[in-house]
Amino acid sequence: MAHWVIHRERGGFPVERARLGACELCVVYVAGEWQWLVRCRGRDLAEGNAPSPMAAHRQAEAVALRLAAPALPQAA
């Protein structure tokens, strides 16, 4: 589970941010929806929306964990 921190961007919306491994996670409430974003090494890799901030946190964390999971060894 990631530790989420709220950042107040100058002139913008409050953004909740966390780090999980090499991934940066962001959650923001825009236009009546909770939006989440996962970035790894400077690239946006996944995004979506959720019905609540907790659901957005869980979805972003699940994607980041899936991206960070080591590749399974292939059968010979």
Residue 61 belongs to domain spanning: 5-68
pLDDT, position 18: 95
| Number of structural domains the chain divides into | 1
- The tens digit of pLDDT for each residue in 34-47 reads 999 999 988 999 99
In a domain, 63, yes or no: yes
In a domain, 33, yes or no: yes
| DSSP type of residue 57 | H
pLDDT, position 51: 95
In a domain, 26, yes or no: yes
In a domain, 35, yes or no: yes
User: Model pTM?
Assistant: 0.81
**Tokens in use for 13?**
């919306």
| DSSP type of residue 52 | S
In a domain, 34, yes or no: yes
In terms of Cβ atoms closer than 10 Å to its own Cβ (0-12, 13-18, 19+), residue 38 is: buried
In a domain, 50, yes or no: yes
In a domain, 76, yes or no: no
The C-alpha atoms of residue 26 and residue 39 are separated, in whole angstroms, by 8
In a domain, 44, yes or no: yes
> Residue 43 CA to chain centroid, in angstroms?
12
